[in-house]
Amino acid sequence: MIYVLFIGFALLGLVSLLAAVTGRRGLVCDRRRGYEVPAAVAADPELTRKANALVASWCARAAMLSVPPLVPLVFAMSADEQQPLSLTALLALAGYGFLVVVMGRYPFERIKRMGGGS
């Protein structure tokens, strides 16, 4: 279970970092290298700039917040006698992971609303 959690948080951090780099490079609205965004956002340079800034900042934060759980998980994996995680620790990690996912998803939902979507 510890290995699954480690891989999950590591992948969450890598995916968030990739999205942040895409936003930093200004490629969020590029359909080939970025993401699908509403046509109104892709057509307006100011909305495109805001979309890139949103994705870059929020996904970078999500990537940074994915790292702290990795430290205790590495220590737990390297322990001589691996103890199973308590239910409280599992619930805390699940809640924390959920918050990181929400933080990484937020800019994409906001971009949908900028384009007039529901």
Interatomic CA distance for residues 62 and 18, integer angstroms = 11
* Mean pLDDT, rounded, of the chain: 91
Q: Give the model confidence (pLDDT) of 85-111 as tens digits.
A: 889 999 999 999 999 999 999 999 999
Across the range 21-27, mean pLDDT stands at: 94
Q: Which residues does 29 contact at the CB level (< 8 Å), separation at least 6?
A: 35, 37, 41, 42, 48, 51, 52
Reported pTM: 0.87
Q: Are 69 and 9 in contact (CB under 8 A)?
A: yes
Q: Are 84 and 5 in contact (CB under 8 A)?
A: no
